[in-house]
Amino acid sequence: MVQGIDASPRRAVAIVGGGPAGMTLALALHQQGVAATVFDARPRAAARNDPRVLALSYGSRLILEELGVWNAIQATSIKTIHVSQQGGLGRTRLTADEQGVPALGYVAAAGSVATALDQRLDACQIAVRDNCHVIRAEVVADAVRLHFADAQNHGQPVEAALAAWAEGSIADASATVRDYGQHALICRAETAAPASTIAYERFTAQGPLALLPMDKAWAVVFTVAADALQPMLALDDQAFLARLQTHFGSRVEFTGVGPRASYPLALRVRRSAVAERQVWIGNAAQTLHPVAGQGFNLALRDIFELARCLGSGREDCGSSAALDSYAAARRLDRAGVIGFTDLLVRLFSNDCGPLQHARGLGLMAIDLLPPARTLLTKRMMFGARAWP
Domain boundaries, the chain: 3-76+111-174+267-344
Count of alpha carbons within 13 angstroms of residue 190, beta-carbon side: 8
d(CA 344, CA 291): 8
Of all residues in the chain, what percent are helix, strand and coil, respectively (each to 5)? 40, 30, 30
Give me the tens of pLDDT residue by residue for the chain, a chain 388 residues long.
455 565 455 579 999 999 999 999 999 999 999 999 999 999 988 888 888 899 999 999 999 999 999 999 999 999 999 998 887 777 899 999 999 999 999 999 999 999 999 999 999 999 999 999 999 999 998 899 999 986 555 568 999 999 999 987 787 878 999 999 999 999 999 999 999 999 999 988 888 899 999 999 999 999 999 999 999 999 999 999 999 999 999 899 999 999 999 999 999 999 999 999 999 999 999 999 998 889 999 999 999 999 999 997 788 999 999 999 999 999 999 999 999 899 888 877 666 666 666 766 777 778 788 898 998 899 889 987 655 4
In this predicted structure, what is the pLDDT of residue 49?
86
pLDDT the model gives residue 1: 42
Residues near 7 by Cβ (< 8 Å), separated by ≥ 6?
none
> At what angle are helices 58-66 and 20-31 packed, to 10 degrees?
50
Alpha-carbon distance 201 to 153, whole Å? 46
CB 232 within 8 A of CB 240: yes
Task: Note the pTM of the prediction, 2 decimals.
Answer: 0.93
Looking at domain 3-76+111-174+267-344, which of 3.40.50.620, 3.50.50.60, 3.90.1710.10, 3.40.30.10 is its CATH number?
3.50.50.60
Three-state DSSP class for 218?
strand
Distance CA 59, CA 70 (A): 12
Q: Which residues contact 333 (CB under 8 A, 6 or more apart)?
A: 298, 301, 383, 384, 385
208 by Cβ neighbours in 10 Å (0-12 / 13-18 / 19+) ranks as buried
**Distance of alpha carbon 205 from alpha carbon 186, whole angstroms:** 18
Q: Helix (H, G, I), strand (E, B), or coil: what is residue 141? A: coil
Alpha helices in 199-319 (DSSP H): 229-234, 237-248, 295-310
The DSSP letter of residue 232 is: H
Q: What are phi and psi of 12, to 5 degrees?
A: -120, 145
How many CA atoms lie within 13 Å of 316's alpha carbon, on the beta-carbon side? 12
* Residues 6+ positions from 222 with CB-CB distance below 8 Å: 184, 185, 186, 187, 209, 232, 244, 247
Rounded CA gap, 3 and 334, in Å?
Answer: 35
228: three-class secondary structure by DSSP: helix
Q: Give the type of residue at 97.
A: D
Q: Are 267 and 178 in contact (CB under 8 A)?
A: yes
Q: How far is Cα 332 from Cα 280, in angstroms, rounded to an integer?
A: 17
Q: How far apart, in whole angstroms, are the C-alpha atoms of residue 115 and residue 19?
A: 10
Strands 127-129 and 134-140: unpaired
Strand partners, 72: none
Angle at 296 between CA 247 and CA 199, to 5 degrees: 35
- For residues 117 and 126, give the distance between their C-alpha atoms in angstroms, rounded to a whole number: 11
Integer Cα distance of 159 and 276 in angstroms: 14
| pLDDT at site 147 | 93
